[in-house]
């Protein structure tokens, strides 16, 4: 068949026509063929809501060339990116162009695709599978209405066997697939959990929508495989069971005796193939067939810092005698995930165990909230972006990525890359970033169905180790007990499909969560430093936190000057113009972060300000992360907020939208070293007449013991001159530990003017460096700095109280007529006040 490709090439013994059930050769007799409709052959057209059907777009003759003049489009993709590439709108990421594109979300958009079918489909079932459409659509093939679907994350499928035009002749074999995308929902609460929230302080009011995942046409026999799940478990003797759960559909009206042949073998390591088969009668409809494969000596999947991420391939054939009806292949890993209670917290303080065990070993989570997808307009995301970003995450010493409830579940390629890299995934399974959810039973059922679709598609990935229900959901829930009941039902739904730990919400420490019955020490979203900027200096703030886990730790910064030039107009670059505010630059807080870090707002130039903001973000992250890690095992995980950002902004990411690491990335990389030498200090500002007092710790997340190592301490002044140097011996660093080894009390600051640095180097007995770390501290008065910081907070709060947090005009006197300013013409370029 033209443009068709076999899912599995005939690699073994091409002279064989049929294979006997029970042999691995069954997998080579695959009758399934797939046509991927991905690419740029699509066309799109705008219509007023409801007018497309009235005009008869769905009835266009399949062989007609009318769609030739429609705008070009790509699948997978999104409406905004297709329009930008077609020249209909300006780049929504640049300047304030997103405001100009708001009209797009008030129209319906028609997507068409023409293809030929020239080969006989007798005794076959042909379906068109949709992996995901955001949000609602109707589908026609050759004028036949196939159906309608709602839900951004759930896949759906239509039997098109009868609707297809099949012929050896070109014109008669033409088929026209037509998809009508509705205008996207305008109120998130009505579609909560079934569409990604498009609000929050890192996006502007454009509602992404489009055909966001692949569309494929699949031809099989009349009994087909719907789903394959490799449900793994470990036994006390070290062996493992792989329960192959195969969901099959008999599309005929009669029962059929079918044989399932399953095999597993190593994917990234060599192993002998293990096979199993089962024959049973399959009645019409959908049924589940189970067969266990026992693995005597399994190669386990591990996070990269605990072992090797070993992966298996499972192949499943579905046969009727000698005729193979269908075939499926999946990748999975054998691993066991359990949770245990964090030591030091009573059951009156916490409701859930928060320490993750992978195959019996503690997996201390060094994570960041993903902040993705790489682009909120998925049509802008080239495949290579995911590979590069996962590589950067691992190089930053992260062993986990958290997908939280303001962002969608990721595409399969994301999990595949995490599987291979040995990165675990902690995921809010569907985006529940709002507590304002429907209360009607039928609408709750839709949310649960969406969640079931999400977990079924992702449960084979060994990287997925933890499920969560909501993200600050109870924080915004009017009825605490309804919210809890909903989250518990969501957990039951998810865990009925995958045996993974589940936590209902994060952080579960707000007033509503307490009313719902959760405990006071569940978790902390370490956000107050940013949102309550000025209430305390960084070290006074993070040292006040005592929780078993930190699902969010947030500090902001500005992308590099090179990246700024890609989305900020040249005439708004410096001092900051309005586009800075539009891209969520909190100009008050950025200056205050700089001041707390350096004792200076650092606004002398664009380069100085940008670099200082990134260093400030990095220093605050480093110091906070190390404080949290020293609490191990009382504390068991940290997720920074964020790793990336899904459009170019001035917010949370340590890697910007152009995949460029900020300077803060290097601080995080250092703080997340699995084996880390760490300095504990109570304050960052010191008088020149007092000794520097601190402690030297070593945190070891590895299951490896280090004997006869040493730490080199070096203190330097403003100019880099060495004030003090000392070497200290450590007899043993235990595996999976965090311990203090030395106290420091050195009176060496007399000649320091503004700041000093402390360097720590941990080496083994042969002099090989195992960990390096350094810190920048200030000369100053802690109490006086606290007072000044609070005065800055008062000024910021006065401005915010007058205009509101979301209104960036508050930074521009020209726009608010403050201080005698008056913006009268576009010839003028408003600039941020106080810069």
Cα–Cα dist 623/778, whole Å: 14
Residue with tokens 């080894």: 741
User: Is 90 exceeded by the pLDDT of residue 433?
Assistant: no
- What pLDDT digit, counting tens, does each position of 648-670 carry? 999 999 999 999 999 999 999 99
pLDDT at 464: 98
pLDDT band at 19 (very low <50, low <70, confident <90, very high): very low
Residues 6+ apart with CB under 8 A from 433: 197, 200, 404, 405, 406, 470, 471, 472, 473
Q: What is the C-alpha to C-alpha distance for residues 349 and 548, in angstroms, rounded to an integer?
A: 10
At residue 117, the 3 state secondary structure works out as: coil
Got the DSSP string for 552-567? EEE---PPPHHHHTTT
**pLDDT tens per residue across span 742-784:** 999 999 999 999 999 999 999 999 999 999 999 999 999 999 9
CA–CA dist 251, 125 (Å, integer) = 8
- Strand pairing class (769-779; 685-686): parallel
User: What is the Cα–Cα distance from 779 to 594, expressed in whole angstroms?
Assistant: 15
Does residue 57 surpass a pLDDT of 60?
yes
The pLDDT value given to residue 28: 62
Find, among 402, 452, 455, 410, the residue nearest to 427 by Cα.
402
d(CA 265, CA 288) in angstroms, rounded, equals 23
When pLDDT is averaged across residues 235-263 and rounded to a whole number, the result is 96
Q: Residue 292: is its pLDDT beyond 50?
A: yes
- 177, 141 contact by CB (below 8 A): yes
Tell me what the mean pLDDT of segment 482-488 comes to: 96
What is the token pair recorded at 427?
A: 């995921």
Sequence-distant (6+) residues with CB within 8 A of 543 are: 627, 682
Judge contact between 580 and 568, C-beta under 8 A: yes
Q: Are 644 and 410 spatial neighbours (Cβ–Cβ below 8 Å)?
A: no
For 613-642, give one letter per residue: b (16+ CB within 10 A) or e.
bbbbbbbbbbbbbbbbbbbbbbbbbbbbbb
How many angstroms separate the CA atoms of 333 and 303, rounded?
11
Per-residue pLDDT reduced to its tens digit, 788-811: 999 999 999 998 888 889 899 999
The yes-or-no verdict on residue 25 having pLDDT over 80 is no
DSSP 666-685: HHHHHHT-SEEEEEE-S-SE
Distance of CA 406 to the CA centre of its chain: 10
Distance between CA atoms of residues 541 and 627, nearest Å: 11
Residue 48, pLDDT > 90, answer yes
> Which residues are CB-contacts of 651 (< 8 A; sequence separation ≥ 6)?
201, 202, 556, 584, 642, 645
Residue 659 φ/ψ region, left for φ over 0, alpha for ψ in the -120 to 50 degree band, beta for the rest? left
Please name the helix (run of DSSP H) or strand (run of DSSP E) that holds residue 617, with its range, or none: helix 606-629
* Closest by CA position to 250, among listed 260, 240, 258, 238: 258
**Average pLDDT value for the chain:** 94
> What does each C-alpha distance from 575 to 413, 550, 828 come to in angstroms?
41, 36, 14
For residue 749, count CB atoms less than 10 angstroms from its CB and return exposed for 0-12, middle for 13-18, buried for 19 or more: buried
| Average pLDDT of span 151-179 | 96
**Confidence band, pLDDT 50/70/90 cuts, at residue 33:** confident
Collect all residues with Cβ–Cβ distance below 8 Å to 569 and sequence separation of at least 6: 94, 95, 577, 579
pLDDT band at residue 16 using 50, 70 and 90 as cut-offs: very low
What is residue 178's predicted lDDT score, i.e. its pLDDT?
98
Pairing of strands 737-746, 285-295: unpaired
Q: Is the pLDDT confidence value at 8 over 50?
A: no
Length of the chain: 835
pLDDT, one tens digit per residue, over 125-141 is: 999 999 999 999 999 99
To the nearest 10 degrees (0 to 180), the angle between helices 606-629 and 663-671 is: 10
**More confident: 833 or 661:** 661
Above 60 in pLDDT, residue 409? yes
Distance separating alpha carbons of residues 313 and 458, to the nearest angstrom: 15
Radius of gyration of the chain (CA): 29
| Residue 30 reports pLDDT greater than 60 | no
Nearest C-alpha neighbor of 772 from the set 790, 782, 760: 760
- Least confident range of 36-40, 57-61, 253-257, 430-434: 430-434
CA-closest candidate to residue 587, choices 832, 801, 831: 832
How sure is the predictor about 823, in pLDDT bands with cuts at 50, 70 and 90? confident
Residues 6 or more apart from 181 whose CB is under 8 A from it? 79, 108, 109, 110, 111, 133, 136, 137, 209, 210, 211
The answer, yes or no, to whether residue 518 has pLDDT greater than 60, is yes
CA distance 89 to 91: 7
CA 283 centroid distance within chain: 40
DSSP annotation of 306: T
Q: What is the pLDDT of residue 436?
A: 86
pLDDT at 23 over 50: no
**What distance in Å separates the CA atoms of residue 724 and residue 364, rounded to the nearest whole number?**
34
Model confidence at 824, pLDDT cuts 50, 70, 90, reads: confident
Closest CA to 385 of 397, 396, 400, 372: 372
pLDDT digits (tens, 9 = 90+) for 189-229: 999 999 999 988 889 889 999 999 999 999 999 999 999 99
Please, which pLDDT band fits residue 29 given cuts at 50, 70 and 90? low
């Amino acid at each position: 068949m033209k443009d068709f490709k076999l899912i599995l090439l005939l690699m073994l013994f091409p002279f064989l026509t049929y294979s006997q059930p029970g042999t691995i050769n069954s997998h080579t007799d695959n009758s399934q063929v797939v046509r991927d409709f991905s690419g740029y052959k699509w066309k799109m057209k705008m219509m007023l809501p409801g007018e497309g059907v009235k005009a008869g777009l769905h009835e266009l003759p399949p062989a007609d060339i009318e769609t030739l003049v429609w705008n070009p489009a790509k699948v997978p993709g999104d409406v905004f990116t297709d329009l930008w590439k077609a020249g209909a709108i300006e780049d929504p990421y640049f300047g304030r162009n997103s405001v100009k594109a708001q009209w797009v979300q008030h129209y319906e958009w028609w997507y068409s695709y023409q293809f030929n079918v020239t080969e006989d489909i007798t005794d076959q079932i042909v379906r068109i599978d949709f992996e995901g459409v955001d949000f609602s659509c109707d589908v026609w093939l050759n004028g036949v209405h196939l159906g309608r679907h709602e839900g951004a994350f759930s896949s759906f499928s239509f039997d098109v066997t009868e609707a297809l035009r099949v012929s050896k002749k070109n014109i008669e074999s033409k088929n026209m697939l037509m998809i009508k995308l509705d205008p996207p929902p305008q109120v998130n609460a009505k579609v909560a959990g079934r569409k990604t929230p498009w609000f929050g302080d890192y996006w502007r009011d454009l509602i992404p929508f489009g055909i966001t995942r692949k569309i494929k046409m699949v031809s099989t026999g009349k009994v087909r495989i719907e789903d394959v799940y490799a449900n793994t478990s470990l036994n006390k003797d070290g062996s493992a069971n792989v329960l192959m759960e195969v969901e099959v559909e008999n599309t005929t009206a009669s029962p059929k005796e079918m044989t399932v042949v399953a095999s597993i073998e190593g994917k990234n390591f060599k192993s002998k193939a293990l096979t199993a088969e089962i024959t049973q009668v399959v009645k019409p409809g959908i049924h589940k067939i189970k067969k266990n494969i026992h693995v005597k000596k399994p190669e386990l999947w591990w996070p990269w810092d605990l072992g090797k991420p070993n992966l298996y391939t499972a192949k499943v054939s579905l046969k009727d005698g000698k005729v193979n009806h269908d075939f499926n292949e999946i990748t999975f890993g054998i691993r066991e995930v359990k949770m245990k209670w964090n030591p030091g917290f009573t059951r009156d303080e916490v409701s859930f165990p928060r320490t993750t065990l992978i195959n019996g070993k503690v997996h201390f989570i060094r994570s960041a909230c993903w902040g993705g997808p790489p682009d909120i307009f998925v049509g802008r995301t080239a495949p290579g972006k995911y590979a590069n970003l996962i590589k950067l995450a691992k190089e930053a010493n992260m062993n986990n990525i958290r997908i939280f409830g303001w962002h969608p579940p990721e595409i399969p390629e994301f999990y595949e890359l995490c599987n291979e890299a040995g990165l675990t995934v902690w995921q809010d399974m569907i985006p529940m970033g709002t507590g304002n959810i429907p209360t009607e039973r039928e609408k709750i059922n839709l949310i649960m169905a969406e969640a079931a679709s999400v977990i079924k598609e992702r449960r084979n990935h060994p990287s997925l180790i933890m499920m969560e229900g909501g993200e600050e959901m109870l924080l915004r829930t009017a009825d605490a007990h309804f919210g809890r009941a909903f989250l518990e039902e969501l957990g039951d739904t998810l865990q009925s499909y995958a045996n993974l730990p589940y936590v209902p919400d994060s952080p579960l420490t707000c007033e509503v969560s307490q009313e719902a019955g959760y405990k006071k020490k569940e978790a902390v979203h370490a956000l107050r430093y940013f949102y309550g900027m000025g209430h305390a200096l960084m070290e006074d703030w993070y040292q006040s936190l005592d929780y078993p886990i930190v699902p969010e730790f947030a500090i902001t910064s500005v992308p590099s000057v090179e990246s700024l030039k890609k989305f900020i107009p040249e005439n708004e670059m410096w001092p900051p113009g309005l586009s800075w505010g539009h891209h969520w630059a909190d100009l008050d807080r950025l200056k205050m972060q700089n001041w707390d870090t350096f004792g200076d707002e650092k606004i002398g130039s664009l380069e100085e300000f940008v670099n200082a903001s990134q260093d400030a973000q990095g220093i605050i992250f480093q110091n906070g992360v190390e404080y949290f890690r020293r609490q191990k095992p009382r504390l068991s995980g940290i997720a920074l907020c964020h790793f990336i950002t899904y459009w170019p902004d001035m917010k949370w990411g340590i890697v910007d939208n152009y995949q460029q690491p900020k300077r803060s990335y290097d601080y995080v990389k250092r703080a997340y070293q699995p084996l880390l030498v760490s300095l504990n200090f109570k304050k960052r500002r010191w008088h020149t007449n007092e000794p520097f007092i601190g402690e030297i710790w070593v945190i070891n997340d590895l299951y490896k013991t280090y004997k006869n190592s040493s730490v080199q301490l070096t203190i330097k002044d403003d100019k880099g001159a060495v004030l003090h140097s000392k070497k200290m011996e450590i007899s043993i660093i235990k595996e999976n530990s965090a311990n203090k080894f030395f106290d420091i009390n050195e009176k060496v600051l007399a000649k320091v003017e503004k700041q000093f640095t402390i360097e720590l180097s941990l080496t083994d007995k042969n002099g090989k460096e195992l960990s390096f770390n350094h810190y920048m501290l200030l000369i100053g008065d802690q109490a006086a700095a606290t007072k000044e910081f609070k005065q800055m907070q008062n000024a910021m709060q006065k401005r915010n109280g007058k205009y509101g947090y979301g209104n960036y005009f508050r930074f521009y006197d020209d726009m608010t007529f403050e201080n005698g300013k008056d913006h009268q013409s576009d010839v003028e370029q408003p600039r941020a006040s106080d810069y």
